[in-house]
Amino acid sequence: MKKERLFTPGPVQIPERVLKVLGEPIIHHRTPEFKEIFAYTRELFKRLVDSPSDNFVYFASSGTGAMEAAVANFFKPGEKVIVINAGKFGERWVQIANTYGLEIVELKYEWGKSVDIDQLKDSLDRNPDAKGVLFQISETSTGAYHDYKAIGELCKNRDTLVVADAITTLGVYNIKPQQEGIDILIGGSQKALMLPPGLSILWFSERAEKRLNPKGYYFDVKKEVKKQKDATTAYTPAVSLIIGLRESLEILLEEGMENVEKRHRIMSEATRKAVEELGFKVLPEKPAISVTAILSEFAEKLRKEMLTLGVRTAGGQDHLKGKLFRISHMGYLDMLDHFSAIGALELAMVKVLGKTDHLGKGIRAFQKAIVING
């Protein structure tokens, strides 16, 4: 018997409570029953982001769909945007912005680096006509963190929308977009919201609402938000995922977002201490608490051996493929689950590196970090 544990940064381990409702018979989306559930999830989401605003929509799409919707609805062709590009998903912002004919000022960083706030300020000063700053709070491909609060502060007195891809941070950090200067916040179901893939979320500020100028058909935010404020949708919603969202949001709110962030911080810091004690280097200088990205020339061999033990991790992307593996801290994972990941890594090292003197060192470092930080 082998139990597989998902330590990938999407999809993630799903709580039994969520799995239970996902397995229930489907209900029709144009019924009073579903309308009540839909309205309730919207109230829960407002509590999650600590905002009374109804300016947000759910789309039946991946997170990339909501990224595209942000560009298509809030910017016009020819407008200038600053894009922070420090990984696979920063590149995606560039590609989407190019597709919609925006003029791009690219702040490009080596993978693993975080945005230099002074450089961003300089770029904003030199481009006062920039209509937006597009970035990831957590660059999933590298595990790097971009300081969204500092970015929000920089832009609050400028005519520049702050567009944050929070796909691997919504449900990890205690994000309060209305208070922290975020104008557009994007989330995805298969990350820390602990659901299967297929649902995205786009929240927008009053300032962004004034810029709402839809282009396209399906991702028409203006049309969709009007419907969703009335607890319905313009088109067929992801019924089961909305019902699952009700449960996952309740779980997060029952724990409290301050505690959720603390849990992720403790688990991620302990994991970093463990892998560093085992001789590995963590890629980002300023790591996010969603996922730990670990450099190793034996990355794929280690991942393969860990999988034989029931621990599935993610590999590197593009030029980091085969040079990096990633351990996620999102989803239905607790301290003992993380023990299994560190233990599996130690055992994989025996097979791949042919040594045993490291056994127990990672676990001890993890335990010590838990004691100190917990």
Alpha helix stretches (DSSP H) within 185-320:
206-209, 221-228, 239-255, 257-277, 299-308
pLDDT of residue 344: 98
DSSP state at residue 311: E
pLDDT of residue 313: 99
pLDDT of residue 374: 73
> What pLDDT digit, counting tens, does each position of 296-319 carry?
999 999 999 999 999 999 999 999
The average confidence (pLDDT) of the chain is 98
pLDDT at 373 over 90: no
Residue whose token pair is 């280097």: 281
Mean pLDDT within 186-211? 98
Q: Looking only at Cα atoms, what is the longest distance across the chain?
A: 63
pLDDT of residue 71: 99
Closest CA to 322 of 300, 302, 342, 301: 300
Q: Which residues neighbour 258 within 8 Å (Cβ) at sequence distance 6 or greater?
A: 174
With contact defined as beta carbons under 8 Å apart, do 171 and 195 qualify?
no
With contact defined as beta carbons under 8 Å apart, do 170 and 185 qualify?
yes
- Strand partners of residue 107: 84
Mean pLDDT within 27-53? 98
Pairing state of beta strands 200-204 and 184-188?
antiparallel
pLDDT at 107 over 90: yes
> What pLDDT digit, counting tens, does each position of 130-182 carry?
999 999 999 999 999 999 999 999 999 999 999 999 999 999 999 999 999 99
pLDDT of residue 2: 80
Query: Rounded to whole angstroms, what are the CA distances from 21 to 40, 192, 247, 306, 327?
Result: 15, 18, 8, 31, 28
**CA-only gyration radius of the chain, Å:** 21
Closest CA to 190 of 308, 292, 290: 290
Q: Is 326 marked as binding a ligand?
A: yes
Q: For residue 20, report the phi and psi dihedrals to the nearest 5 degrees.
A: -60, -45
pLDDT of residue 232: 98
DSSP state at residue 115: -
Q: Which residues neighbour 126 within 8 Å (Cβ) at sequence distance 6 or greater?
A: none
Domains of the chain and CATH, by start = 5-11+257-373 (3.90.1150.10), 16-255 (3.40.640.10)
User: What are 248's two structure tokens?
Assistant: 């996952």
> What pLDDT digit, counting tens, does each position of 56-65 carry?
999 999 999 9
Q: Which residues neighbour 142 within 8 Å (Cβ) at sequence distance 6 or greater?
A: 86, 87, 111, 112, 283, 284, 293, 320
> What pLDDT digit, counting tens, does each position of 252-309 carry?
999 999 999 999 999 999 999 999 999 999 999 999 999 999 999 999 999 999 999 9
Alpha carbons 234 and 192: distance in angstroms, whole number: 26
